[in-house]
Structure 1
Amino acid sequence: MLVILAENGRLRHIESIAKRFVELTMAHKGEVKAIVTSVIPLPPQEEKELKETLQEIIGQGKQVKLEQKIDPSILGGLVVEFEQKVFDMSIKTRARQMERFLREPINFGSL
């Protein structure tokens, strides 16, 4: 496979090919990867509860594989990504939403 990629000038795509292969393998096994981003590592009990909650959302027949990422820039809360869905419960996003809300002009005509 590597020889064919090299002959066709596509070795630069090897990382994306490997990621896609992992995704296909996980799908075949019935596994779903969930990426959880937080400011600090989740305590084991919270990780277990989150995994159980995601398992209920995803349903029977699939197994959740949790991957944790640490990102201090979210300021707090969690960002959960799985199956092309993103649940952003970070303080950073909430602050942006609040700022946008506060900057909107007030329409007194609708009061």
Structure 2
Amino acid sequence: MKVINISFKFADGAPDQTHAAVEGESVLDVALNNNIKLQHNCGGVCGCSTCHVYIEAGMDDLPEITDKEEDFIDRAVDPRLNSRLACQCVVQGNEDLVITIPEQDFLGH
């Protein structure tokens, strides 16, 4: 089983954290399993935009973005070219990931 590291950075200034992930886990799963607060109003089924994150490194090793995910990202606060939904970022490659979690002082869609 492949193991990669996911480095989490926080826009609110919290200290960075790095955690191991195995193939098949989502970035949302890894965050929640390590007590990182990341909103996920729909329960992680690509039904909202609250788990919106920025992929700073490792984007090429994530599944291709779907039209559904892209539609929800358009509803997120401050979407960017490197925006993804953490529930849809499933570990599948060899490259470590660097994720920035934006400030989450909203309820989201």
TM-score band by shorter chain is under 0.3
Larger radius of gyration: 1
Q: TM-score normalized by structure 2? A: 0.22
**Higher relative contact order, chain-length normalized (CA < 8 Å, sep 6+):** 2
Relative to its length, the structure with more helix (as a share) is 1
